[in-house]
Amino acid sequence: MQDFILFGMQGSGKGTQGQILAAKLNLQVFETGGQLRKLAAEDSDLGKKVKGIIESGNLVSDEVVMEIVENFLKKTPATEGVIFDGIPRSESQYLMLEGEFEKFNRKPTALYIKLTEEEALKRLLGRKTCSKCGKIFGSKDNIAAATSCPVCGGELKIRADDTEEAIRTRLDVYAAQTLPVIEKYRAAGRLIEVDGSQPVEDVTTEILSQVEA
């Protein structure tokens, strides 16, 4: 089975594509946040360790993230494909992660959903979240003037970290830390690039046709 690593800046629709591809290609999703929450609820040594870190309010180190990856890969036979979402974010994580992949004889293909910073900014600035059901609406949902959720009627709010300055900072961090990693996969001939400014279905179609090619 083929493995993939998803890359794309915030606003690129990376998470959505991950879910769609997982369903279409029958892949498991490794998403760091989700794995942390799952482990923290588990009565295992690694679970207790993760729970302790989260409860103390500390950031999970690269070393612990790799322990989690290793724990996950040990339980995942090579016949089951995986889509990695959210790692590697930096060159140091890239080096450690490739070490794990080698250990388990896996060689994921990187999928890069490209978007310009301006397009990402436009999308992220247009976002509103429902304070009741938690659904996130984008600019395409025509909620610019709306104050209540079209689904449940709850109050729509703009996230505190969705100011232009905060978004630009996050996009800059991505450009500085993650783009060099994407270049590594390009240099290794393990990169598929798609245009993320297209509608969701078209991005999926382009990914699938490139994966099959």
Binding residue for Zn ion, selected from 38, 54, 154, 170, defined by CB under 5 A: 154
Please tell me whether residue 23 binds Zn ion under the rule CB under 5 A.
no
Please give the C-alpha separations between residue 136 and each of 25, 77, 156, 157, 168, in angstroms, as whole numbers.
26, 35, 9, 10, 20
Please tell me whether residue 151 binds Zn ion under the rule CB under 5 A.
yes
- Burial label for 164, CB within 10 Å (0-12, 13-18, 19+), is exposed
Binding residue for Zn ion, selected from 23, 95, 146, 152, defined by CB under 5 A: 152
Binding residue for Zn ion, selected from 96, 149, 171, 194, defined by CB under 5 A: 149
Please tell me whether residue 133 binds Zn ion under the rule CB under 5 A.
yes
Judged by CB, which is closer to Zn ion: 109, or 148?
A: 148
Please tell me whether residue 136 binds Zn ion under the rule CB under 5 A.
no
Judged by CB, which is closer to Zn ion: 15, or 154?
A: 154
**DSSP one-letter string for 36-92:** HHHHHTS-SHHHHHHHHHHHTTPPPPHHHHHHHHHHHHHHS-TTS-EEEES---SHH
Judged by CB, which is closer to Zn ion: 151, or 176?
A: 151
Q: Least distance in Å: CB of 138 to Zn ion? A: 14
Residues 32, 21 contacting (CB under 8 angstroms): no
Binding residue for Zn ion, selected from 29, 130, 167, 194, defined by CB under 5 A: 130
Sign of the alpha-carbon torsion through 63, 186, 33, 102 = negative
Q: Least distance in Å: CB of 156 to Zn ion? A: 8
Binding residue for Zn ion, selected from 38, 132, 168, 170, defined by CB under 5 A: 132
Chain-centroid distance, C-alpha 78: 22
Three-state secondary structure call for residue 6: strand
> Where on the chain is the footprint of Zn ion (CB under 5 A)?
130, 132-133, 149, 151-152, 154
